[in-house]
């Protein structure tokens, strides 16, 4: 929209914005109600504008903004040029008919292929792109939350200089001045800081920039990066190389502190590959075996057949000890029982080429050398593991954050441009970026939020969201994709490439042109290939070819001794990452897979350690390095390594937005020097205060009830129906059965495949307009997620087994909830769904009372007020096929009835029965391991029917005779018999 150069009083505007609470504003100019705004209104909403002229009172202005906000999507949906629909043709918008576009989302700089659903130009839902190697049709919580991030009313909305609103042109003027300043001295004194990127075109632009300004400083600041693997493989291969484990090929996997299911750009693909070797289907008598040695509880460890929790600094010794047993180097004593290591080594050797050892990226180079050597000696190259050139952009000569700050402090930097990074927040404790920044006369920040760095910089420019910009990006295996916009920037954001082009003097280069140029000239894509690329969402032929090399393994002889005393293990929060997603309420309120903590981080400690330090959950501890101290509540986690405290990053920001500010504590300052992931020498003391750790699950034992049934592969082979056999004989029913002539929709959840990643929960939230309720309401037990993933611990508290159980509505055939509803607000549909009719519900809550699975959720308060005149951009986020529930009504999982009906309509148009797989609920579609199978039980050929007849299939609480339509496949694990006598098997 048209911007004005006249500066506005930002302080006043912020005050107003705050006092206005939920009513958000589209841009500072609008808030200021300037001539520009009136003009803009005239152009866009003549009628409204007329009214605006008559009644220019504050309320009128607000109403107007509400309207413009609600239509923000529409205005933007003068469709962005040249984008191509994925499946639907023609691309013209048919009201009521969703279009789907292929694009990619950047998470940590890496690409995750996505198919985005767009209603009348409003992006509402993200799904994985089946053709994209990093998502394979699956998605995770961060992808699901992308649309909320797009509409986030608190995203930065206008360029500013010294907190005064400026226009983009004014910024270009500043860039021009910068170019004049550094032009005649080869860029000396200019520093460019970027976040982690894999974008070929942006890399190309930066390379051109470095060519133009040889002496400029480039700093790639990735607060979550770890260099161990890179260093080690550099040493082995003589050039930058990345490991690419092929979990689908591996029979025996040993994880040395590697959370390959939950972390890393390949997590979704790895989860799919891993589960493909784990799930037990008819006749199968083999499955892969996973040994996990980890320094903090992860979902990878939870899926392992054997798991040892050790302090992170002890892993090198374990790696060396294991290597020794594979005939590499000398044995050392390790915190894992020697007999266990023997058994693991034997297992690996037996598996030969299909044995795989993976190490966590944050482990030291020594560990990665050991691992490479072990895989080499197992002959797993090309089978269970490959090596590829790393997809991310790490040009030689790039300086570290520490080095850059040093230069800044010495005054050697006269201009700094920070592009999509937030060093003022993510810098380690010993790198005082903020005070060094003061010494830089010309500072510019380009980012999505007015964050700590933006506030510290003189200039700030809003960065466009992935769903509103052109760009390209590589996946973990090197495959490149085009990022295509679904809407024009809602809040006037600009793409990174625009900024880089401007630095190159190409002030008017549009991101699309830049992209097209790069791919035509360097990428060699003609128009047909380009069109194919944006249709499929991947650029064919860009996948990195494995490095063929017979590089001799380098065996590191030195083994760092494990630390002593309390060790602090720093981990990225699974959803907030380094804090860039902290203003996303969906992610804040999504329970963490194991701790189930929401809205904050905590100091996770082992029960034994808590006992020794006399800490109880809720006690506040003070963790300090030098003068950097944080206070946060303790949460006692079974299976946590002893004498270790785990703290998640990404919390405790002061300048990200009303949602994320002040949530949790910021652990970045605890980092120093080389110690980025395993911190020792910190002082840990118990503070007087107490603070609640808000979680969504309060009881962690199954109390001996047969809820998650599990057994070993051996048990299954011996007796495939072991799960059913444990079931009490079903008591008969007095009622004549209701005929089910049409579909009988049913769901089967494979608990062997489920890794507890929570993707299904966030997908459900995105699909079904489920509100977030905030930390206080969650503490009251009012959370609204229709689907929850229960996590139970089995066995000892020190090293328990962990089982996950997703619990959606069971859609019982003899539903206890329906019988007790006094107003027929929950009844059965013709196709066997347990339907909830919101506008009949008076809210007696008897149904929830009588639901043995407690899957019903109640609108205790008005969680989604969309009253007239109070429209926020978030209204545009709502899925138009799902009604938004009012206060005082009950709601619950519907099996995504809107998708069922869409499938039915299409089937009826084609005059066919609904084909198996034609209807997929959001949870099943998102699941990385395809653990959720949905279909029509009356169709003899359907997968769900076959799985329902599978020997492992059982119904939850079958003895209640509720006849659930959602059933479970018992969890099968594959422990090593040789270890059985050594320690109690983890599961069972």
Partner 1 sequence: MAEARAATLVRGDPGYPEITGRIASIVLAGRLPRIFWLGFLGFFALMLLFLFAIAYLVAAGVGKLGLNVPVVWGTMITNVVWWIGIGHAGTLISAVLLLFRQPWRNSINRFAEAMTLLAVAMAGLFPILHLGRPWFFYWLLPLPNTHMHWPQWRSPLVWDFAAIATYIVVSLLFWYMGLIPDLAVLRDRARSRGAQVFYGLLALGWRGSAFHWKRHQTVYFLLAAIATPLVVSVHSVVSLDFAVAIVPGYHSTIFPPYFVAGALYSGFAMVLTIAIPLRAAFGLRDFITQRHIDNGVKVMLAAGMLVAYGYLSETFFSWYSGTPYDRYELFARFLGPYAPCFWIMLACNVGALQLLWFRRVRNNMALLFGIALVINVGMWLERFVIVVSGPANDFLPSAWNTATLTWLDFALLFGSLGTFFALMFLFVRILPAISIFEVAEEAHQEGAA
Partner 2 sequence: MTARSKLYGVIGAYREPEPLVSAARTLRDAGYAELDAFTPFPVPALDAILQTRATPLPLLVLAGGIFGAVASYALILYSVMVDYPIDVGGRPLNAWPAYLVLAFEGGVLGAALAGFVGMLALNRLPTYYHPIFNAPSFTFARDDRFYLLVKSSDAKFAEARNALRRTGAILVEEVAP
Q: Can you give the binding site for partner 1, defined by CB under 8 A? A: 697-705, 707, 777, 780-782, 788, 790-792, 805, 807, 816, 818-824, 839-846, 848-850, 852-854, 856-862, 886-890, 956-957, 960
Nearer to partner 1 (CB atom), residue 96 or residue 781: 781
Q: Rule CB under 8 A: is residue 852 a binding residue for partner 2?
A: no
Which regions of 479-547 does DSSP assign to beta strands (E)? 480-483
Nearer to partner 1 (CB atom), residue 549 or residue 701: 701
CB of 3 to partner 2, least distance (A): 58
CA angle 309, 265, 675 (to 5 degrees): 50
Of the residues 573, 818, 881, 891, which one makes contact with partner 2 according to CB under 8 A: 818
CB of 774 to partner 1, least distance (A): 12
Compute CA 707 distance to the chain's CA centroid, rounded to the nearest angstrom. 28
CB of 828 to partner 2, least distance (A): 4
For partner 2, which stretch binds (CB under 8 A), given 568-576, 663-671, 749-757, 807-815?
807-815
Nearer to partner 1 (CB atom), residue 658 or residue 844: 844
d(CA 353, CA 355): 6
CB under 8 Å to 699, separation ≥6 — which residues?
A: none
CA neighbor of 131 nearest in space, from 472, 528, 485, 535: 535
For partner 2, which stretch binds (CB under 8 A), given 121-129, 678-686, 820-828, 884-892?
820-828
Of the residues 342, 706, 715, 814, which one makes contact with partner 2 according to CB under 8 A: 814
Q: Rule CB under 8 A: is residue 816 a binding residue for partner 2?
A: yes
* 954 phi, psi to nearest 5 deg: -145, 160
Q: Rule CB under 8 A: is residue 825 a binding residue for partner 2?
A: no
d(CA 499, CA 508): 10
CB of 819 to partner 1, least distance (A): 5
d(CA 469, CA 471): 6
Q: Rule CB under 8 A: is residue 827 a binding residue for partner 2?
A: yes
Of the residues 828, 902, 904, 943, which one makes contact with partner 2 according to CB under 8 A: 828
Using CB atoms within 10 Å of the CB of residue 335, give its burial: 0 to 12 exposed, 13 to 18 middle, 19+ buried. middle
CB of 202 to partner 2, least distance (A): 58
Nearer to partner 1 (CB atom), residue 864 or residue 920: 864
CB under 8 Å to 250, separation ≥6 — which residues?
A: 277, 288, 351, 354, 355, 356, 380, 384
| Binds 782: which of partner 1, partner 2, none (CB < 5-8 Å by kind) | partner 1
* 104 phi, psi to nearest 5 deg: -140, 145
Of the residues 737, 781, 822, 940, which one makes contact with partner 2 according to CB under 8 A: 737
Of the residues 170, 963, 982, 988, which one makes contact with partner 2 according to CB under 8 A: 963
In this structure, is the dihedral angle defined by the CA atoms of residues 655, 660, 664 and 666, taken in order, positive or negative?
A: negative
In this structure, is the dihedral angle defined by the CA atoms of residues 27, 33, 39 and 42, taken in order, positive or negative?
A: positive
| Binds 904: which of partner 1, partner 2, none (CB < 5-8 Å by kind) | none
| Binds 853: which of partner 2, partner 1, none (CB < 5-8 Å by kind) | partner 1
| Binds 930: which of partner 2, partner 1, none (CB < 5-8 Å by kind) | none
Which helix (H) or strand (E) element contains residue 42? Answer: helix 35-44
CB of 737 to partner 2, least distance (A): 7
Q: Rule CB under 8 A: is residue 744 a binding residue for partner 2?
A: no
Q: Rule CB under 8 A: is residue 824 a binding residue for partner 2?
A: yes
Using CB atoms within 10 Å of the CB of residue 87, give its burial: 0 to 12 exposed, 13 to 18 middle, 19+ buried. exposed
Token representation of residue 421: 């990074």
Of the residues 238, 738, 869, 941, which one makes contact with partner 2 according to CB under 8 A: 738
CB of 583 to partner 2, least distance (A): 43
CB of 749 to partner 1, least distance (A): 15
CB of 844 to partner 1, least distance (A): 6
For partner 2, which stretch binds (CB under 8 A), given 310-318, 473-481, 730-738, 882-890?
730-738
Nearer to partner 2 (CB atom), residue 234 or residue 850: 850
| Other Cβ atoms closer than 10 A to 272 | 20
Q: Is the peptide bond before 90 cis (omega within 30 degrees of 0)?
A: yes
What DSSP line would sit under 661-718, residue for residue?
Answer: BT-S---GGG-BTTBSSEE-S-EEEEEEEE----BS------TT-SSS-EEEHHHHHH
| Other Cβ atoms closer than 10 A to 912 | 10
CB under 8 Å to 972, separation ≥6 — which residues?
A: 280, 287, 710, 711, 712, 713, 716, 752, 952
Token representation of residue 885: 């529930």
Nearer to partner 1 (CB atom), residue 386 or residue 818: 818
Q: Rule CB under 8 A: is residue 736 a binding residue for partner 2?
A: yes
| Binds 697: which of partner 2, partner 1, none (CB < 5-8 Å by kind) | partner 1
Q: Where do contacts with partner 2 occur on this chain (CB under 8 A)?
A: 735-738, 812-819, 821, 824, 827-828, 963
């Amino acid at each position: 929209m048209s911007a004005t150069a006249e500066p506005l009083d930002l302080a006043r505007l912020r005050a107003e914005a705050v006092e206005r609470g939920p009513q958000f504003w589209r841009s500072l100019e609008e808030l200021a109600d300037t001539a520009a705004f009136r003009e803009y209104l005239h152009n866009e909403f003549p009628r409204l504008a007329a009214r605006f002229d008559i009644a220019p009172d504050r309320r009128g202005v607000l109403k107007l903004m509400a309207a413009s906000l609600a239509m923000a999507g529409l205005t933007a949906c003068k469709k962005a040029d040249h984008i191509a629909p994925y499946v639907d043709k023609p691309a013209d918008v048919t009201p009521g008919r969703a279009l789907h576009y292929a694009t990619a989302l950047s998470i940590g700089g890496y690409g995750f292929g996505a198919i985005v659903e767009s209603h009348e130009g409003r992006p509402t839902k993200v799904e994985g792109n089946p053709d994209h190697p990093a998502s394979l049709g699956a998605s995770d919580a961060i992808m699901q939350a992308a649309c909320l991030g797009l509409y986030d009313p608190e995203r930065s909305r206008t360029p500013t200089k010294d907190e005064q609103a400026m226009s983009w042109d004014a910024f270009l003027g500043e860039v021009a001045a910068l170019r004049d300043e550094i032009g005649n001295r080869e860029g000396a004194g200019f520093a460019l800081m970027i976040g982690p990127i894999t974008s070929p075109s942006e890399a190309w632009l930066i390379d051109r920039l470095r060519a133009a300004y040889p002496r400029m400083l480039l700093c790639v600041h990735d607060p979550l990066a770890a260099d161990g693997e890179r260093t080690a493989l550099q040493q082995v291969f003589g050039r930058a190389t990345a490991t690419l484990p092929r979990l689908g090929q591996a029979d025996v996997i040993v994880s040395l502190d590697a959370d390959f299911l939950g972390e890393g750009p390949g997590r979704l693909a790895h989860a799919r590959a891993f589960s493909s070797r784990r799930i037990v289907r008819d006749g199968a008598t083999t499955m892969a075996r996973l040994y996990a040695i980890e320094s903090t509880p992860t979902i990878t460890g939870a899926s392992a057949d054997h798991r040892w929790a050790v302090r992170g600094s002890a892993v090198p010794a374990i790696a060396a000890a294991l290597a020794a047993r594979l005939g590499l180097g000398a044995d050392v004593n390790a915190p894992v029982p020697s007999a266990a290591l023997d058994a693991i080594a034997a297992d690996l050797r037996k598996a030969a080429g299909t044995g795989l050892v993976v190490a966590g990226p944050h482990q030291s180079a020594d560990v990665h050398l050991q691992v490479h050597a072990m895989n080499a000696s197992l002959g797993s190259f090309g089978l269970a593991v490959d090596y590829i050139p790393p997809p991310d952009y790490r040009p030689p000569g790039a300086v570290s954050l520490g080095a850059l700050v040093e230069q800044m402090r010495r005054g050697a930097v006269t201009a700094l441009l920070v592009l999509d990074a937030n060093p003022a927040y993510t810098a380690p404790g010993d790198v005082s970026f903020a005070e060094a920044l003061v010494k830089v006369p010309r500072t510019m920040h380009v980012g999505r939020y007015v964050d700590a760095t933006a506030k510290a910089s003189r200039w700030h420019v809003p960065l466009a969201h992935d769903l509103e910009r052109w760009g390209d990006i590589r996946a973990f295996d090197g495959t490149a994709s085009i990022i295509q916009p679904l809407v024009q920037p809602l809040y006037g954001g600009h793409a990174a490439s625009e900024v880089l082009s401007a630095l190159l003097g190409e002030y008017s280069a549009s991101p699309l042109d830049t992209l097209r140029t790069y791919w035509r000239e360097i990428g060699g894509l003609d128009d047909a290939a380009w069109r194919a690329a944006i249709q499929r969402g991947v650029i064919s032929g860009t996948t990195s070819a494995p490095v063929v090399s017979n590089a001799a393994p380098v065996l590191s002889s030195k083994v760092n001794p494990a630390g002593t005393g309390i060790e602090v293990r720093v981990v990225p929060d699974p959803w907030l990452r380094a804090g860039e997603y902290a203003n996303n309420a969906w992610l804040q309120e999504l329970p963490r897979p194991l701790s189930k903590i929401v809205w904050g981080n905590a100091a996770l400690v082992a029960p034994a350690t808590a006992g020794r330090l006399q800490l109880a959950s809720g006690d506040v501890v003070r963790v300090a390095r030098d003068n950097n101290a944080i206070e946060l509540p303790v949460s006692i986690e079974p299976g946590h390594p002893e004498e270790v405290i785990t703290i998640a990053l990404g919390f405790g920001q002061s300048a990200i937005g009303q949602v994320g500010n002040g949530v949790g504590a910021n652990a970045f300052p605890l980092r120093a020097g080389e110690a980025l992931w395993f911190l020792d020498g910190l002082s840990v003391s118990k503070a007087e205060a107490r603070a609640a750790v808000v979680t969504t699950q309060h009881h962690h034992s199954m109390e001996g009830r047969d809820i998650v049934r599990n057994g070993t592969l051996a048990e299954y082979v011996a007796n495939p129906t072991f799960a059913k056999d444990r079931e009490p004989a079903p008591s008969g029913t007095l009622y004549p059965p209701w005929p089910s002539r049409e579909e009988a929709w049913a769901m089967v959840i494979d608990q062997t495949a489920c890794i507890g990643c929570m993707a299904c929960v966030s997908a459900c939230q995105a699909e079904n307009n489920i509100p977030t309720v905030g930390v206080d309401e969650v503490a009251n037990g009012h959370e609204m997620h229709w689907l929850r993933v229960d996590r139970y611990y089995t066995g000892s508290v020190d090293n328990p087994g962990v089982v996950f159980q997703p619990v959606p509505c069971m859609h019982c055939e003899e539903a206890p909830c329906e019988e007790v509803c006094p107003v027929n607000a929950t009844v059965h549909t013709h196709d066997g769904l347990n339907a909830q009719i919101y506008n009949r519900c008076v809210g007696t809550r008897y149904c929830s009372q009588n639901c043995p699975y407690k899957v019903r959720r109640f609108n205790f308060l008005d969680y989604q007020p969309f009253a007239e005149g109070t429209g926020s951009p978030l209204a545009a986020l709502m899925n138009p096929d799902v009604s938004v529930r009012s206060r005082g009504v009950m709601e619950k999982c519907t099996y995504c009835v809107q998708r069922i009906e869409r499938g039915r309509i299409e089937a009826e148009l084609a005059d066919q029965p609904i084909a198996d797989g034609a209807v997929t609920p959001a949870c099943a579609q998102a699941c990385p391991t395809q653990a959720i199978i949905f279909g029509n039980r009356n169709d003899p050929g359907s997968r769900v029917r076959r799985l329902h007849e599978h020997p492992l299939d059982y119904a939850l609480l079958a003895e209640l005779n509720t006849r659930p339509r959602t059933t479970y496949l018992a969890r099968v694990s594959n422990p090593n018999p040789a270890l059985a006598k050594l320690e109690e098997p983890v599961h069972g």
